[in-house]
């Protein structure tokens, strides 16, 4: 069971002492804080960082989850409000599914797409859609075809031997003005070959 107190850490700014795949050690005021965050956030960090922070306290742990924007933090907190989704699962969803895609999948009740893009199970995806419908705010214009295209890109890259995580990471790097599936696949392959 998690609880939250407004006096807990809500924001941190400091120097990055160490980076791992799921967390950083952020030194601020002479104290090193272990802050869990998304892989995408970690990749874009330099020597210093600022985080909007969610503090999760359980009987046996006191964990900090950091986000580069208030919107990311708010979506994370909405995700952990869904029964059965803890902070690690919510962070995993945000690591692989762009917020706009998540908003559209929930708004359109597209459970299959949510499962395909985020890699979570069907039962959890159904809970996310059921409990967050109407709570994620307005999404930018995106059609059902756009959602299907993203899924098709992930599938195409999977058929070429890339993992779902690699495919989803590449998908995040594709400019919004690229609309065709083949164009997205081509750019994703370029990104993957450059980063392999």
Residue 5 located in a structural domain? no
**Same domain as 61, residue 92:** no
Residue 137 located in a structural domain? no
> Which of the residues in the chain have pLDDT under 70?
1-7, 116-119, 137-151, 196
**Tally of domains in the chain:** 3
Instruction: Give residue for tokens 């930018």.
Output: 140
What is the predicted pLDDT for the residue at 171? 75
Q: How far apart are CA 181 and CA 186, in angstroms?
A: 9
The string of pLDDT tens digits covering residues 55-99 is: 988 888 889 999 999 999 999 999 999 888 889 888 888 887 778
Residue 86 located in a structural domain? yes
Closest CA to 91 of 72, 110, 117: 72
Domain that holds residue 164: 144-194
Query: What is the Cβ-side half-sphere exposure of residue 180, based on CA atoms within 13 angstroms?
Result: 4
Residue 166 located in a structural domain? yes
Residue 139 located in a structural domain? no
**Same domain as 127, residue 75:** yes
Q: What is the CA radius of gyration of the chain?
A: 17
What is the predicted pLDDT for the residue at 63? 93
What is the predicted pLDDT for the residue at 144? 45
Residue 4 located in a structural domain? no
Residue 138 located in a structural domain? no
What is the predicted pLDDT for the residue at 1? 42
Return the CATH number at 19: 2.40.50.140
Q: How far apart are CA 194 and CA 178, in angstroms?
A: 19
The continuous run of DSSP H or E covering 63 comes out as strand 61-67
At which of 132, 161, 179 does a domain end?
A: 132
Residue 118 located in a structural domain? yes
What pTM does this model have? 0.69
**Same domain as 49, residue 21:** yes
**Same domain as 127, residue 160:** no
Return the CATH number at 171: 1.10.8
């Amino acid at each position: 069971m998690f609880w939250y107190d407004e006096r807990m850490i809500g924001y941190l700014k400091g120097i990055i002492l160490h980076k791992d795949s799921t967390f950083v050690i952020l030194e601020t005021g002479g104290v090193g804080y272990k802050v869990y965050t998304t892989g995408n956030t970690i990749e874009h960090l330099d020597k210093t960082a600022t985080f909007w922070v969610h503090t999760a306290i359980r009987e046996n742990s006191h964990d900090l989850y950091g986000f580069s924007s208030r919107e990311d933090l708010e979506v994370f907190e909405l995700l952990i409000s869904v029964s059965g989704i803890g902070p690690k699962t919510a962070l995993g969803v945000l690591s692989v599914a762009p917020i706009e895609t998540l908003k559209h999948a929930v708004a359109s009740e597209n459970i299959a797409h949510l499962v395909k893009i985020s890699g979570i199970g069907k039962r959890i995806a159904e809970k996310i859609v059921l409990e967050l419908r109407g709570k994620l705010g307005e999404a930018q214009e995106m059609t059902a075809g756009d959602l299907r295209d993203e899924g098709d890109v992930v599938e195409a890259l999977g058929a070429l031997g890339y993992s779902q995580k690699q495919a989803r990471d590449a998908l995040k790097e594709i400019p919004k003005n690229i609309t065709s599936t083949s164009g997205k696949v081509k750019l994703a392959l370029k990104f993957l070959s450059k980063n392999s």
